[in-house]
Amino acid sequence: MKRNIKIEALQQIPLERQEIELVEKKCIGHPDSLADGIAESISRALSMAYIKECGAILHHNTDQGEIVAGESQPKFGGGKVIRPIYVLINGRATKQFEGISIPTDAIAVEAARTYLKKTLTNLNMDRDIIVDCRLGTGSTDLRDVFNPCQNSPPRANDTSFGVGHAPFSEAETIVREVSDFIDTTYRKKHPIVGQDIKIMALRDGNTITLTLACAMVDRYCSDVKEYIEQVDLLQEHVLKVAKKHTKRTVHVAVNTADVYEDESVFLTVTGTSAEMGDDGSVGRGNRCNGLITPNRPMSMEATSGKNPINHIGKIYNVLSTQLAQECVAKVDGIDEIYIRLLSQIGKPIDQPLVASVQILPKKGMNMNAIRSDVESIVDGGLAEITCITEKIIRGEIKTF
């Protein structure tokens, strides 16, 4: 069956020439990102357990988790958590299959605690966190749609859509690069920088302003003077990273709510605001490309925690993003591309109701020279859609 792929020229001002652009990222220790990371780690753990025990990935969705903030008393030199962070694991999972019992709750708790230990390195796992599991079983109709033994490719478990765009703008690239730099390089030398960071970029014409809210870890800081020095140092390094990716003017501000004279600063015991005051929910943070981009079309689906077999909220968001990036990399003449994939519940996931592709061609380029190559890439990606499942399970694809 020929796929319903619709390609059209988009007539609008390219994003880089628009006056205002906003880009946001919630880094790995932000409560919303913690909820996403836990949800996805549980889905991966369940998938691997299902394959080992039953030979196939069974129906599950763990995309409804919550982080409930605890209470802490940070202070220079080291404070304490006085009420633990509470993690609620909920959603649905198959617990029985052809006489086999799968210990889904135990698997979920172990996966969550393993993820937290790896991510929040300053967290005392014995006393600073409570992990509670309330996984239920799926509704009969959805488990019927998700039959692992009879459908290849699987049938969509929802009528929903996924969205992707490419290429990244300078502001989008800067936000991603700053986040990666802090997580992979800077924190190793400066452990005072916690994992809970929110980055907001404003591009106003040719000026980019980066505002960072960064949780600082109290045990690595003796007083407010040292705190200020560390904030200034982080600001300096972030500016250097940003300038590598743009010729525009860049300004960086870190922890703008601090009041130094009152010693009212963003100081934490564990490196996350979840220890005191900030809750988190799956799907409330980054989209699957790792960003929140209000200037671009986005899906509101929570990508993390959904099953990697037939849940459109995960698969179509991941695939549309990958296809957009592939089109820009392989086809000349594309200034911007936006891809939307829409499913119908119960229909094969490789046959979307529509694959909508909008292309903003570069000046002087003819759409006819672009159309066939883009259609071939989108059609090929849909034909190989089940390959995404294995990559997700192996952790090769980020979902937030």
Q: What is the pLDDT of residue 261?
A: 96
pLDDT in tens, 34-90: 999 999 999 999 999 999 999 999 999 999 999 999 999 999 999 999 999 999 999
Q: Which domains does the chain have, with CATH numbers?
A: 5-16+159-169+284-393 (3.30.300.280), 31-145 (3.30.300.10), 170-280 (3.30.300.340)
What does each C-alpha distance from 328 to 25, 68, 151, 386 come to in angstroms? 23, 41, 33, 22
Q: Report the distance separating Cα 373 and Cα 366, nearest Å.
A: 13
Q: What is the pLDDT of residue 152?
A: 77
pLDDT in tens, 227-275: 999 999 999 999 999 999 999 999 999 999 999 999 999 999 999 999 9
The contacts of residue 17 (CB under 8 Å, 6+ apart) are none
Q: What is the pLDDT of residue 132?
A: 98
Confidence band for 143, pLDDT divided at 50, 70 and 90: low
pTM for the structure as a whole: 0.95
The contacts of residue 265 (CB under 8 Å, 6+ apart) are 216, 224, 227, 255, 258, 259
Q: Report the distance separating Cα 246 and Cα 173, nearest Å.
A: 9
Is 164 or 137 the better-scoring residue by pLDDT? 164
Q: What percentage of the chain carries pLDDT values higher than 90?
A: 94
**Strand, coil or helix: 378:** helix
Q: What is the pLDDT of residue 142?
A: 63
Mean pLDDT of the chain: 95
Using the predicted structure, report yes or no on whether residue 305 has a pLDDT greater than 70. Answer: yes
Q: What is the pLDDT of residue 28?
A: 98
Q: What is the pLDDT of residue 329?
A: 98
Averaged over 303-331, what is the pLDDT?
97
The contacts of residue 220 (CB under 8 Å, 6+ apart) are 191, 192
Q: Report the distance separating Cα 141 and Cα 63, nearest Å.
A: 19
Confidence band for 144, pLDDT divided at 50, 70 and 90: low
pLDDT in tens, 362-396: 998 989 889 999 999 999 999 999 999 989 999 99
Using the predicted structure, report yes or no on whether residue 141 has a pLDDT greater than 90. Answer: no
